[in-house]
Amino acid sequence: MPRSTGNDKEKMLLDLAEAHIAAMDEVGINIQVLSLTTPGLQTLAPGEAVPLSRAVNDLPAATVRHRPDRFQAFATLPFGT
C-alpha cells in the first residue's frame, strides 16, 4: 500500500481492501472507479513520466484484479510535453 501522511481520509482512500469495501457498502456504493487525481503526469518529461505512470497504474490494476466486482480503474497515460 502507498504511504500515507497520516490523514484519516487519506488512509481510507489508500486502503482498497476489506475496510474500504465495508465503507462502500455502508453508504450503498456498489462499484468505485479508481484514477490518479490532479496534477497528472502530463507535465513531466517522457523519461520520468513513463516509469512513473507504470508505478501509478500498479495499485489500481492489482485492486481491480483482486475485486473486479467492486472496482474499475482509469489508466494513467504518460503524455509528455
Q: How far is CA 8 from the centre of its chain?
A: 17
Name the H helices within 1-81: 8-14, 18-27, 46-66
* Res 79: pLDDT: 76
pLDDT at 1 over 50: no
pLDDT band at 26 (very low <50, low <70, confident <90, very high): very high
Average pLDDT estimate for 19-48:
88
Q: What is the pLDDT of residues 34-72, one digit of tens each?
A: 988 777 788 888 888 888 889 889 988 999 999 999 999
| Whether the Cβ atoms of residue 36 and residue 56 lie closer than 8 Å to each other | yes
Instruction: Tell me how far apart the alpha carbons of residues 69 and 79 are, in angstroms, rounded to a whole number.
Output: 30
Pick 78 or 71 by higher pLDDT. 71
